Amino acid sequence: MKRLTAVVCAFVLLGVAPAKADDAVRTVLDQYAAQAGPGVAVHTARYTLSAGTGKINEQRAITASDHFRIGSQTKTFTAAVVLQLVDEHRVELDAPISRYLPGVVSGNYNGDVITVRQLLQHTSGLVRDVRDARANPDGTFSLAELVRSAMDEPAQSAPGAALNYSNVGYLVLGLLIEKITAKPAGTVITERIISPLGLTQTAFPAPGDRALSTPFLNGYIGGRLGPFFFWTEATTSQELSFWSTAGAMSSTLDDIRRFYRALLGGQVVSPAALAEMRRTVSSYGLALAEVPLTCGGVAWGHNGSLPTGHYSLTLATDDGRSVSVVTNTNQPGSQPSAIAVADKALCTS
- Whether the pTM exceeds 0.85: the reply is yes
DSSP secondary-structure letter at 1?
-
Query: Which among 246, 250, 92 is positioned nearest to 173, based on CA atoms?
Result: 246
Q: What is the pLDDT of residue 349?
A: 87
For the annotated catalytic residues, the residue numbers are 72
Q: What is the pLDDT of residue 18?
A: 47
Length of the chain, please? 349
CB 65 within 8 A of CB 43: no
Query: Which among 75, 95, 91 is positioned nearest to 83, based on CA atoms?
Result: 91
In order of their start, the domains of the chain are 5-71+217-347 (3.40.710.10), 73-194 (3.40.710.10)
Q: What is the pLDDT of residue 14?
A: 38
CB 25 within 8 A of CB 348: yes
CB 229 within 8 A of CB 6: yes
CB 219 within 8 A of CB 329: yes
| Strand extents, DSSP E, 23-182 | 39-44, 48-52, 68-69
Q: What is the DSSP string of 264-327?
A: HTTSSS-HHHHHHHT--BTTB-SS-EEEE-TTSSEEEEEEEEETTTEEEEEEE-TTS-EEEEEE
Q: Is 214 exposed, middle or buried (0-12, 13-18, 19+ CB in 10 A)?
A: exposed
Span 100-110, pLDDT tens digits: 999 999 999 99
Q: What is the pLDDT of residue 34?
A: 86
Q: What is the pLDDT of residue 330?
A: 83
Residues of the chain below pLDDT 50: 1-18
